[in-house]
A and B are shown apart, each in its own frame.
Chain A
Amino acid sequence: MATQQRPLSPHLQIYRPQLTSVLSISHRITGVLLSVGLVPLVVWLVALGRGPEAYAAVMAVFSHPLAVVLWVAWSFALFYHLCNGIRHLLWDAGLFLDLKSAYATGWTVVVLAGVLTALAWGVWS
Protein backbone atom coordinates (compact mmCIF):
# COMPACT_ATOMS: atom_id res chain seq x y z
CA MET A 1 0.00 0.00 0.00
CA ALA A 2 1.42 3.39 -0.98
CA THR A 3 0.56 5.79 1.82
CA GLN A 4 2.77 8.74 0.90
CA GLN A 5 1.31 11.58 -1.20
CA ARG A 6 2.74 11.09 -4.65
CA PRO A 7 2.26 13.48 -7.61
CA LEU A 8 -0.73 12.67 -9.85
CA SER A 9 -1.09 13.20 -13.59
CA PRO A 10 -3.36 16.15 -14.53
CA HIS A 11 -7.09 15.46 -14.16
CA LEU A 12 -9.42 15.17 -17.13
CA GLN A 13 -10.93 18.67 -16.68
CA ILE A 14 -7.52 20.22 -17.45
CA TYR A 15 -7.64 19.11 -21.09
CA ARG A 16 -9.58 20.88 -23.84
CA PRO A 17 -12.29 18.58 -25.21
CA GLN A 18 -11.45 17.31 -28.69
CA LEU A 19 -13.31 15.12 -31.18
CA THR A 20 -11.33 11.99 -30.31
CA SER A 21 -11.90 12.24 -26.56
CA VAL A 22 -15.57 13.28 -26.91
CA LEU A 23 -16.31 10.33 -29.24
CA SER A 24 -14.46 7.99 -26.88
CA ILE A 25 -16.54 8.87 -23.82
CA SER A 26 -19.68 8.99 -26.01
CA HIS A 27 -19.08 5.34 -26.89
CA ARG A 28 -19.27 4.46 -23.20
CA ILE A 29 -22.25 6.75 -22.51
CA THR A 30 -24.26 5.35 -25.45
CA GLY A 31 -23.27 1.82 -24.36
CA VAL A 32 -24.67 2.42 -20.87
CA LEU A 33 -27.84 4.02 -22.31
CA LEU A 34 -28.36 1.06 -24.67
CA SER A 35 -27.95 -1.34 -21.74
CA VAL A 36 -30.73 0.55 -19.93
CA GLY A 37 -32.76 0.36 -23.16
CA LEU A 38 -32.70 -3.45 -22.94
CA VAL A 39 -35.11 -3.20 -19.99
CA PRO A 40 -38.08 -1.87 -22.05
CA LEU A 41 -37.19 -4.36 -24.81
CA VAL A 42 -37.43 -7.27 -22.35
CA VAL A 43 -40.68 -5.83 -20.89
CA TRP A 44 -42.14 -5.56 -24.42
CA LEU A 45 -41.27 -9.19 -25.29
CA VAL A 46 -42.71 -10.45 -21.98
CA ALA A 47 -45.95 -8.50 -22.61
CA LEU A 48 -46.14 -9.96 -26.13
CA GLY A 49 -45.82 -13.45 -24.66
CA ARG A 50 -48.40 -12.83 -21.90
CA GLY A 51 -51.35 -11.78 -24.03
CA PRO A 52 -53.30 -8.94 -25.68
CA GLU A 53 -54.24 -7.16 -22.38
CA ALA A 54 -50.66 -7.00 -21.09
CA TYR A 55 -49.47 -5.95 -24.55
CA ALA A 56 -52.04 -3.14 -24.80
CA ALA A 57 -51.06 -1.86 -21.33
CA VAL A 58 -47.37 -1.78 -22.22
CA MET A 59 -47.99 -0.18 -25.63
CA ALA A 60 -50.10 2.58 -24.01
CA VAL A 61 -46.94 3.66 -22.16
CA PHE A 62 -44.49 2.92 -24.98
CA SER A 63 -46.44 4.95 -27.60
CA HIS A 64 -46.66 8.06 -25.40
CA PRO A 65 -45.02 11.06 -27.18
CA LEU A 66 -42.37 11.31 -24.44
CA ALA A 67 -41.53 7.62 -24.92
CA VAL A 68 -41.25 8.17 -28.69
CA VAL A 69 -38.64 10.89 -28.01
CA LEU A 70 -36.72 8.25 -26.03
CA TRP A 71 -36.98 5.71 -28.90
CA VAL A 72 -35.49 8.26 -31.31
CA ALA A 73 -32.67 9.02 -28.84
CA TRP A 74 -32.08 5.30 -28.30
CA SER A 75 -31.99 4.59 -32.04
CA PHE A 76 -29.37 7.33 -32.48
CA ALA A 77 -27.37 5.85 -29.57
CA LEU A 78 -27.63 2.43 -31.25
CA PHE A 79 -26.40 3.66 -34.65
CA TYR A 80 -23.65 5.73 -33.05
CA HIS A 81 -22.45 2.81 -30.91
CA LEU A 82 -22.65 0.51 -33.95
CA CYS A 83 -20.61 2.83 -36.22
CA ASN A 84 -18.08 3.77 -33.55
CA GLY A 85 -17.87 0.10 -32.52
CA ILE A 86 -16.86 -0.79 -36.09
CA ARG A 87 -14.27 2.04 -35.82
CA HIS A 88 -12.92 0.37 -32.67
CA LEU A 89 -12.81 -3.05 -34.37
CA LEU A 90 -10.83 -1.52 -37.26
CA TRP A 91 -8.39 -0.03 -34.74
CA ASP A 92 -8.10 -3.45 -33.09
CA ALA A 93 -7.14 -4.82 -36.51
CA GLY A 94 -4.37 -2.18 -36.65
CA LEU A 95 -6.07 0.07 -39.22
CA PHE A 96 -6.60 3.90 -39.22
CA LEU A 97 -4.48 4.41 -36.11
CA ASP A 98 -2.77 7.67 -37.16
CA LEU A 99 -4.16 11.03 -35.96
CA LYS A 100 -5.48 12.14 -39.36
CA SER A 101 -7.43 8.87 -39.83
CA ALA A 102 -8.74 9.04 -36.24
CA TYR A 103 -10.36 12.41 -37.08
CA ALA A 104 -11.57 11.33 -40.54
CA THR A 105 -13.20 8.13 -39.23
CA GLY A 106 -14.52 10.09 -36.22
CA TRP A 107 -16.43 12.59 -38.36
CA THR A 108 -17.59 9.74 -40.63
CA VAL A 109 -19.09 8.00 -37.59
CA VAL A 110 -20.92 11.16 -36.45
CA VAL A 111 -22.41 11.84 -39.91
CA LEU A 112 -23.23 8.16 -40.57
CA ALA A 113 -25.00 7.77 -37.20
CA GLY A 114 -27.20 10.80 -38.02
CA VAL A 115 -27.94 9.59 -41.56
CA LEU A 116 -28.79 6.05 -40.40
CA THR A 117 -31.12 7.39 -37.69
CA ALA A 118 -32.93 9.59 -40.26
CA LEU A 119 -33.13 6.70 -42.79
CA ALA A 120 -34.42 4.23 -40.19
CA TRP A 121 -37.16 6.58 -39.00
CA GLY A 122 -38.01 7.28 -42.64
CA VAL A 123 -38.68 3.55 -43.06
CA TRP A 124 -40.27 3.06 -39.63
CA SER A 125 -42.77 5.96 -39.66
Chain B
Amino acid sequence: MMTVPLTEDGEGVRAARARSQRHRRIAVLSLLGALAVGLVMILGKTGPGHLRPEYAVAAVIAMAVLLPLAIYFNDQGKDELDRLNALRANSFGLYACLLGGWGWLVLSDGGLVPQPSVLILVLATGVITLGRYAMLKMRS
Protein backbone atom coordinates (compact mmCIF):
# COMPACT_ATOMS: atom_id res chain seq x y z
CA MET B 1 0.00 0.00 0.00
CA MET B 2 1.22 3.52 -0.81
CA THR B 3 2.43 5.61 2.11
CA VAL B 4 0.76 8.99 2.32
CA PRO B 5 1.87 11.98 4.40
CA LEU B 6 0.42 12.40 7.89
CA THR B 7 -2.74 14.45 7.96
CA GLU B 8 -4.24 16.14 11.01
CA ASP B 9 -7.72 17.02 9.77
CA GLY B 10 -9.37 13.74 8.82
CA GLU B 11 -12.69 12.47 10.16
CA GLY B 12 -10.81 10.84 13.05
CA VAL B 13 -9.30 14.14 14.17
CA ARG B 14 -12.71 15.80 14.01
CA ALA B 15 -14.20 12.97 16.08
CA ALA B 16 -11.33 13.24 18.58
CA ARG B 17 -11.86 17.00 18.91
CA ALA B 18 -15.62 16.54 19.43
CA ARG B 19 -14.89 13.89 22.07
CA SER B 20 -12.44 16.19 23.80
CA GLN B 21 -14.96 19.07 23.76
CA ARG B 22 -17.63 16.80 25.28
CA HIS B 23 -15.17 15.79 27.97
CA ARG B 24 -14.35 19.44 28.74
CA ARG B 25 -18.05 20.34 28.98
CA ILE B 26 -18.63 17.51 31.45
CA ALA B 27 -15.60 18.62 33.50
CA VAL B 28 -16.88 22.22 33.59
CA LEU B 29 -20.38 21.06 34.65
CA SER B 30 -18.84 18.86 37.38
CA LEU B 31 -16.82 21.83 38.61
CA LEU B 32 -19.94 24.03 38.67
CA GLY B 33 -21.75 21.35 40.68
CA ALA B 34 -18.89 21.24 43.19
CA LEU B 35 -18.94 25.05 43.41
CA ALA B 36 -22.72 25.00 44.02
CA VAL B 37 -22.27 22.56 46.93
CA GLY B 38 -19.42 24.71 48.26
CA LEU B 39 -21.64 27.80 48.02
CA VAL B 40 -24.44 26.11 49.99
CA MET B 41 -21.90 25.27 52.69
CA ILE B 42 -20.55 28.82 52.79
CA LEU B 43 -24.07 30.33 52.96
CA GLY B 44 -25.08 28.02 55.80
CA LYS B 45 -22.01 28.65 57.92
CA THR B 46 -22.76 30.10 61.34
CA GLY B 47 -19.24 29.94 62.73
CA PRO B 48 -16.02 27.93 62.53
CA GLY B 49 -16.98 24.26 62.07
CA HIS B 50 -20.72 25.00 62.39
CA LEU B 51 -23.34 24.70 59.66
CA ARG B 52 -27.09 25.33 59.85
CA PRO B 53 -28.80 21.89 59.85
CA GLU B 54 -30.97 22.59 56.77
CA TYR B 55 -27.89 23.70 54.80
CA ALA B 56 -25.95 20.65 55.95
CA VAL B 57 -28.78 18.37 54.73
CA ALA B 58 -29.04 20.31 51.44
CA ALA B 59 -25.27 20.00 50.86
CA VAL B 60 -25.30 16.24 51.53
CA ILE B 61 -28.34 15.65 49.27
CA ALA B 62 -26.81 17.79 46.49
CA MET B 63 -23.54 15.86 46.75
CA ALA B 64 -25.38 12.51 46.81
CA VAL B 65 -27.12 13.46 43.54
CA LEU B 66 -24.29 15.31 41.78
CA LEU B 67 -21.33 13.06 42.60
CA PRO B 68 -22.71 9.84 41.02
CA LEU B 69 -23.85 11.87 37.99
CA ALA B 70 -20.41 13.46 37.61
CA ILE B 71 -18.69 10.08 37.98
CA TYR B 72 -21.07 8.47 35.46
CA PHE B 73 -20.72 11.14 32.79
CA ASN B 74 -16.95 11.46 33.29
CA ASP B 75 -16.68 7.70 32.91
CA GLN B 76 -18.65 7.83 29.64
CA GLY B 77 -16.05 10.20 28.22
CA LYS B 78 -13.14 7.90 29.10
CA ASP B 79 -11.64 5.26 26.84
CA GLU B 80 -10.61 1.84 28.14
CA LEU B 81 -7.04 2.87 28.98
CA ASP B 82 -8.19 5.93 30.91
CA ARG B 83 -10.80 3.84 32.72
CA LEU B 84 -8.13 1.30 33.66
CA ASN B 85 -5.84 4.07 34.90
CA ALA B 86 -8.68 5.53 36.99
CA LEU B 87 -9.45 2.09 38.44
CA ARG B 88 -5.79 1.50 39.32
CA ALA B 89 -5.50 4.96 40.89
CA ASN B 90 -8.70 4.41 42.93
CA SER B 91 -7.40 1.05 44.19
CA PHE B 92 -4.08 2.67 45.12
CA GLY B 93 -5.94 5.47 46.96
CA LEU B 94 -8.07 2.95 48.83
CA TYR B 95 -5.00 0.96 49.96
CA ALA B 96 -3.28 4.19 51.02
CA CYS B 97 -6.39 5.26 52.98
CA LEU B 98 -6.78 1.88 54.69
CA LEU B 99 -3.08 1.57 55.54
CA GLY B 100 -2.72 5.24 56.51
CA GLY B 101 -5.90 5.26 58.62
CA TRP B 102 -5.07 1.99 60.31
CA GLY B 103 -1.46 3.01 60.95
CA TRP B 104 -2.49 6.39 62.35
CA LEU B 105 -5.09 4.74 64.61
CA VAL B 106 -2.62 2.20 65.96
CA LEU B 107 0.02 4.89 66.55
CA SER B 108 -2.54 7.08 68.34
CA ASP B 109 -3.54 4.07 70.49
CA GLY B 110 0.12 3.82 71.40
CA GLY B 111 0.05 7.47 72.46
CA LEU B 112 2.60 8.47 69.82
CA VAL B 113 0.39 10.74 67.70
CA PRO B 114 -2.95 12.57 68.15
CA GLN B 115 -6.28 10.91 67.21
CA PRO B 116 -6.79 10.42 63.44
CA SER B 117 -8.46 13.29 61.63
CA VAL B 118 -11.13 12.23 59.11
CA LEU B 119 -10.65 15.44 57.12
CA ILE B 120 -6.90 14.89 56.74
CA LEU B 121 -7.44 11.23 55.78
CA VAL B 122 -10.04 12.12 53.12
CA LEU B 123 -7.93 14.95 51.69
CA ALA B 124 -4.75 12.83 51.70
CA THR B 125 -6.60 9.97 49.96
CA GLY B 126 -7.85 12.39 47.30
CA VAL B 127 -4.37 13.85 46.72
CA ILE B 128 -2.73 10.39 46.61
CA THR B 129 -5.39 9.06 44.19
CA LEU B 130 -5.04 12.08 41.88
CA GLY B 131 -1.25 11.89 42.04
CA ARG B 132 -1.28 8.20 41.14
CA TYR B 133 -3.74 8.87 38.29
CA ALA B 134 -1.51 11.63 36.91
CA MET B 135 1.52 9.33 37.14
CA LEU B 136 -0.27 6.50 35.28
CA LYS B 137 -1.53 8.93 32.65
CA MET B 138 1.94 10.31 32.04
CA ARG B 139 3.39 6.80 31.68
CA SER B 140 0.85 5.73 29.05
Chain A complexes with chain B: no
